[in-house]
Amino acid sequence: MTIYILKCVKCNHEWASKKEKPRLCPKCKSAYWDLPIKPEDFMKGTISCPLCPDKEFSSFLNLARHMVLSDRPTGAHQRWLQSFLNKRFEEYAFGKDKAIAMRLKAYWDKKRSWPDIIV
């Protein structure tokens, strides 16, 4: 059996674990215990809008803001987001940009393309 000695970069806690990469730091409970960068920086990358491919964004957060703020409340971007998130406009439109960015990033990292959603 292998025992790993790990250290959290957020709180500097060191611990022994049977898992090579545990999900959380046992002390501060951070899911980013092994990433020496902020979670917001982790979401960076050059990414295109699924509806206007000529527009590129420097982060998934900027893409999410573009999608939420474009042609409110019934335009093509809103219909695409409603279908992608499976939520009504009122459920995601206000103060949810980071959550949307994380969903967009998770999907992109898994598929490397956007779903074909007819708007």
**pLDDT, tens digit (0-9, with 9 covering 90-100), for 31-50:** 888 876 555 554 555 788 99
Residue 91 has what pLDDT?
85
How confident is the model over 10-26, as pLDDT tens digits?
A: 888 999 999 988 999 99
**Distance between CA atoms of residues 91 and 96, nearest Å:** 9
* Percent of the chain topping pLDDT 70: 92
- How many Å apart are CA 15 and CA 112, to the nearest integer? 35
The count of C-alpha atoms lying within 13 angstroms of the C-alpha of 10, restricted to the half-sphere facing its C-beta, is 15
Query: Would the pTM count as exceeding 0.95?
Result: no
